[in-house]
Chains A and B, each alone.
Chain A
Amino acid sequence: MNLQALSLHHAISFPSLNPNNSTRLGFRLPSHRGFKIASVMSPQHTWTQTWKTDVLHLIDETEESLFKTGKFGRFGGVFVPETLVTCLNMLLSEFSFCLNDPHFQGELATALRDYVGRETPLYFAQRLTDHYNNGRGEGPEIYLKREDLNHGGAHKINNAIAQAMLAKRMGRRSIVAATGAGQHGVATAAACAKLDMECTIIMGDVDVARQSHNVRLMKLLGAQVKSIKGSFKDATSEAIREWVGDLERKYYLAGTAVGPHPCPAMVREFQSVIGKETRKQAMEKWGGKPDVLVACVGSGSNALGLFHEFVRDEDVRLIGVEAAGTGIDGGTHSATLAKGEIGVYHGAMTYLLQDDEGQIVGPHSVGVGLEYPGVSPELSFLRDIGRAEIHTVTDEEALDAYALLCRLEGICPALEASHALAHLGKLCSTLPSGTKVVVNCSGRGDKDIETVFKHQQQKSSGELISF
């Protein structure tokens, strides 16, 4: 299927694009004022049998056409310069081949088992469950999917190792990737060390300063770290530029489920092992499925990794939790699905945080990995059709959730995952007793200890901490 047939104006009817955006990979739409794209479902739609059928139908349709069109409903796509289209085409066919190649799958399974440390446990958090019980001992049962136990301490490695293996198979010698918080950079550097591949990680200078520990880790693992002016969004653009400049040798390793097709599908596919294991483990543990899945959403890779397996299970609720930062109204945040508007960014149509002029708004969160102004097109789709619910949690709430899990379970979650955990505060009281809730503990929080420390120090000037 010729991806070139997918014209830039296919399925969109927008005002003319701003020509000044041509230097960037994505195209920022001009002013959106008063421009609303009709939602497939109105938010007030009730959960009726018809709706369920409609939702499933949409999901099935999307899945069938995904590989050809790269679209999730109207989201996704291939909004890229001509030079990249052939390359993406090649990537897509290689990826499809690998999915069905038992040799590749076997090697990947071994790497996931022996190198990454899978399967990760589905852990029943007794004390956390008790904490959210009402006075009579009733309440949901909380399970944590322990992606924090992976090599590297987060879910990122699932995708990094698989794509690095894919790249090696395609004969590429050199990997280039962009990272913000640094987790994807570290995972990529580790995978490249293991597979004996050259590795260049591009980071915005803002992030290089903030994430010095992760920068050190990347260098230790043998990667070259290039600092460029700006933040993650600029680093991504630069990484893609480097890739375009040397398509024969280089491979762009996307860390998030964003970007032009096939990147979102690929990342989701490689992360979907999380959900697959969860289904099996839930069956072993209680002979059923989870009732509710909760995951934090930055760009959406860990959430999709958990959700994807259950998207067709109508009785499984999917809850994504975004970062409300210092406040969802007027404050700085990173709640793209909650507060963003549709546009094209880094090659895909999706929700993004943009101002009235269509300029990308710099996001903020105490969970640095959630600081992304866009979000996965697939999640945008799932949210629009009402399949996934999106909520937000502030920095304060996330920090409190971090401390709570440490104290109750002896697990220090990443501040990103703490957002998902914080949402339990609002969620649990609404759930019937015995509801099975699975929270994706997407990373460990050793990297955040200093942030939490500084925060507590600031608080202690006003409050007493129990020391």
Chain B
Amino acid sequence: MAFAASSSSAATARTSAQSDLAFRIPSNPPKFAKFAPSISRRSPPISCKMAATAVVDMELDAEALQRPDAFGRFGRFGGKYVPETLMAALTELEAAFNSLATDHEFQKELDGILKDYVGRESPLYFAERLTQHYKRHDGTGPHVYLKREDLNHTGAHKINNAVAQALLAKRLGKKRIIAETGAGQHGVATATVCARFGLECIIYMGAQDMERQALNVFRMRLLGAEVRAVHSGTATLKDATSEAIRDWVTNVETTHYILGSVAGPHPYPMMVREFHKVIGQETRKQALEKWGGKPDVIVACIGGGSNAMGIFHEFVEDEDVRLIGVEAAGFGLDSGKHAATLTKGEIGVLHGAMSYLLQDEDGQIIEPHSISAGLDYPGVGPEHSFLKDLGRAEYHSITDEEALEAFKRLSRLEGIIPALETSHALAYLEKLCPTLPDGTKVVLNCSGRGDKDVHTAINYLKL
């Protein structure tokens, strides 16, 4: 109840905010009341400490809003809801990260690896035929560009963060790396960098997922990683995450936990975003080179939210740049089988951070569904929750079917097979482009390639 009281005072504080901030609070006060009881009945995997006072006693000025603030919060989202044993490690990690941000040697080494190992810069590709596809009868329409993260080593944006965190771990003197993985993409990226840096690597994977992804499991082992099966719960991603966190708690002195997305306790959301922000930085430079301006609209798919934060972050302060995140609507928003956290979720704490998440009446996590494994996460990065509440970014969702259509469309029109995750963002163009004025520059983050998804897609597409 104390929380409910403090949050209503927070609500009051916010309503008196400057009106030009377009600060949208969840409109339904009863949601807050419902939240307080559910959090006490629910038993989250990690116990949480709630601040007694409202944490939003801060300057409500867009420019001064820190992302995150000193407590690791983005507005009221984020934070460090972890057991005591992890607090020291998180503080140490944050300190190390902050010192390395200004360490030229570290930056130089990282830049060299991103260039020669990962293959950056990734191109900003003008998708001529896709642009043509969206031209209206009068010949007008937006110009569509793809930021080619699919061309990175290992075929997705994930490696940007994995490589940087491995380098960070080495600096910290940690020899052991752990990570969790669902379909295996993050696991493969982590195993890849551990091979490159000669670090011991343990990947936690749900037993169910291991069965479905036998080749990815083999790949990780070939790269020298140990893959440990997790049998608890539904034996999928969220259980693997919990197990990985448990390992970290036990081995925190020797071990670094490579979290794959902008979720989890502070400093992870900030760190992972920082390691992916190169995507947005390159985009700004390339946009200037190509058309002498900025993108007008940026579109990216949202699972945990890392590729989206990677491209958004550079432009968050540019109010004339629209930011659009696209989540997975699975079988449909009303089917109960989706992963549209920001559209259908409610606020709670998961894996150490306060954010929107898919939970039932009792605060139990709802098993999400999406045809794309990478979007199949019941939570979302706290910074996205924040940007949504601020009204700075818009969040929409796309069904499995629409994503598959987009998968086929890009393959046919541009000869680029996108990841099913990315296909969600591509599918949204169907709704977006008809509304855009002639010549609008749309940049879509092509976050991964789809070779891994051909098998899944073929069954549906009947080729």
Name the B residues within 8 Å of A406 (CB-CB). Answer: 195, 222-224
**Among B196, B222, B457, residue most surrounded by chain A Cβ atoms (within 10 Å):** B222
Contact call A194/B414, Cβ cutoff below 8 A: yes
Contact call A407/B195, Cβ cutoff below 8 A: yes
Contact call A410/B151, Cβ cutoff below 8 A: no
Contact call B412/A222, Cβ cutoff below 8 A: yes
Candidates A115, A192, A220, A410; contact of B463 at CB < 8 Å: A220
Candidates A117, A121, A220, A456; contact of B408 at CB < 8 Å: A220
Is B236 among interface residues, defined by CB-CB distance under 8 A? no
Is B123 among interface residues, defined by CB-CB distance under 8 A? yes
Q: What is the CA–CA distance of A194 and B196 in the complex, to the nearest angstrom?
A: 34
Name the B residues within 8 Å of A121 (CB-CB). Answer: 115-117, 119
Q: What is the chain A residue whose CB lies nearest that of B152?
A: A149
Q: What is the CA–CA distance of A190 and B411 in the complex, to the nearest angstrom?
A: 8
Contact call A193/B222, Cβ cutoff below 8 A: no
Name the B residues within 8 Å of A149 (CB-CB). Answer: 119, 151-153
Number of B positions contacting A (CB below 8 A): 45
Q: What is the CA–CA distance of A220 and B449 in the complex, to the nearest angstrom?
A: 14
Name the A residues within 8 Å of B153 (CB-CB). Answer: 146, 149, 411
Residues of B bordering A, CB below 8 Å: 115-117, 119, 122-126, 128-129, 148, 151-153, 155, 191-196, 198, 215, 218-219, 221-224, 408, 411-417, 451, 454-455, 457-458, 461, 463
Q: What is the chain B residue whose CB lies nearest that of A467?
A: B221
Given contacts A120-B119, A146-B153, A220-B454, 20 further A-B contacts (CB under 8 A): A113-B123, A122-B116, A127-B196, A151-B148, A153-B451, A190-B416, A193-B412, A213-B454, A217-B454, A220-B417, A220-B458, A221-B412, A221-B415, A406-B222, A409-B195, A410-B194, A410-B223, A412-B222, A449-B219, A453-B215
Binary per-residue interface labels of chain A (385-406) against chain B in the complex, 1 for a CB within 8 Å, 0 otherwise? 0000000000000000001001
Is A189 among interface residues, defined by CB-CB distance under 8 A? yes
Contact call B215/A123, Cβ cutoff below 8 A: no
Q: What is the chain A residue whose CB lies nearest that of B196?
A: A410
Determine the interface band of chain A, counting residues with CB < 8 A from chain B: 35 or more
Contact call B123/A114, Cβ cutoff below 8 A: yes
Q: What is the chain A residue whose CB lies nearest that of B221?
A: A467
Candidates A114, A217, A452; contact of B222 at CB < 8 Å: A452
Q: What is the CA–CA distance of A412 and B189 in the complex, to the nearest angstrom?
A: 12
Contact call A127/B198, Cβ cutoff below 8 A: yes
Name the B residues within 8 Å of A408 (CB-CB). Answer: 195
Contact call A219/B223, Cβ cutoff below 8 A: no
Name the B residues within 8 Å of A120 (CB-CB). Answer: 119
What's the minimum C-beta distance from A404 to chain B, rounded to whole angstroms?
A: 10
Name the A residues within 8 Å of B194 (CB-CB). Answer: 410
Is A450 among interface residues, defined by CB-CB distance under 8 A? yes
Is A191 among interface residues, defined by CB-CB distance under 8 A? yes
What's the minimum C-beta distance from B193 to chain A, rounded to whole angstroms?
A: 6
What's the minimum C-beta distance from B426 to chain A, rounded to whole angstroms?
A: 14
What's the minimum C-beta distance from A165 to chain B, rounded to whole angstroms?
A: 13
**Among A117, A127, A189, A213, residue most surrounded by chain B Cβ atoms (within 10 Å):** A117
Name the B residues within 8 Å of A124 (CB-CB). Answer: 116
Q: What is the CA–CA distance of A409 and B118 in the complex, to the nearest angstrom?
A: 12
Q: What is the CA–CA distance of A124 and B115 in the complex, to the nearest angstrom?
A: 11
